[in-house]
Homo-oligomer: A and B are copies of this chain.
Amino acid sequence: MDIVIPIFNDFTALDAIGPYEVLRSMPDAKVVFAAAAKGVVRTDSRMLGLQADASFDEIEAADILLVPGGWGTRAGMTDEVLLDWIRRVHATTQWTTSVCTGSLVLGAAGLLRGLKATTHWAATELLERTGATYTSERVVRQGRIVTGAGVSAGIDLALTLVAEILGEDMAKAIQLGIEYDPQPPFDAGSPAKAGPRIVELSGMARSRKTG
């Protein structure tokens, strides 16, 4: 099972690493982080770099393509090298997926026209401009295209994928392996749950940090 995760300047690390940790736990998983050029790619915080072990032109196919989000997706939406590569790899995949604003890139590549999809709650208008219909579900499946909501939703998305690919028992075993028994100390993970005051504070703290 070949899993390819493209990374680019100003991507959000957890968008990629949450589902990576689940998907790489499949017994036959082979994960490759790829970028326009091999080498270290900085995340949106600029305080972390991940190594791209392959360049896009070395990757022609994947069983699973997973596009993370982050501020860098805004540039990604008009990066024809990235978009062409995504279209080419998508033609070969069993599953084409995104986390957070990674769906903006799938949308800009023309893959979401007429489909339901999700993204980070602060990017829904941008998503709809690509021809998708935003839906606030955490994981949205449309055929072989699966989009996940903001940042941490990639873990739920990946467990859903593993259940489809290898069955529920393996998904549960991997959930147990990463001890994913979430106990957030607060219940503020969506705009509706957090309320307008926290939404405003989040926007101020986030500025250009996530999205």
Give A197 to B102 CA distance when docked, in angstroms: 36
Query: Contact at A179–B100, with CB atoms within 8 Å?
Result: yes
Q: Quick one: which of A27, A31, A51 has the most chain B CB within 10 A?
A: A51
Inside 8 A of A209's CB, which chain B residues have their CB? 24-25, 177
Interface with B: A11-19, A90-98, A107-115, which one?
A11-19
- Mostly, the A contact residues are mixed
Query: Contact at B202–A176, with CB atoms within 8 Å?
Result: yes
The residue from B53, B149, B150, B185 contacting A160, defined by CB atoms under 8 A apart: B185
Kindly state whether residue A63 has any CB partner on chain B within 8 Å. Answer: no
- Size bracket, chain A contacts: 35 or more
Query: Contact at B185–A206, with CB atoms within 8 Å?
Result: no
Kindly state whether residue A129 has any CB partner on chain B within 8 Å. Answer: no
Give A204 to B204 CA distance when docked, in angstroms: 45
Inside 8 A of A40's CB, which chain B residues have their CB? 40, 51
Q: A33-B47, A179-B189 are in contact. List 20 more A-B contacts (CB 8 A).
A: A13-B20, A14-B20, A14-B21, A14-B178, A17-B18, A18-B18, A152-B179, A152-B181, A155-B184, A156-B182, A168-B186, A169-B198, A170-B201, A173-B194, A173-B198, A174-B205, A175-B186, A176-B188, A176-B189, A176-B198
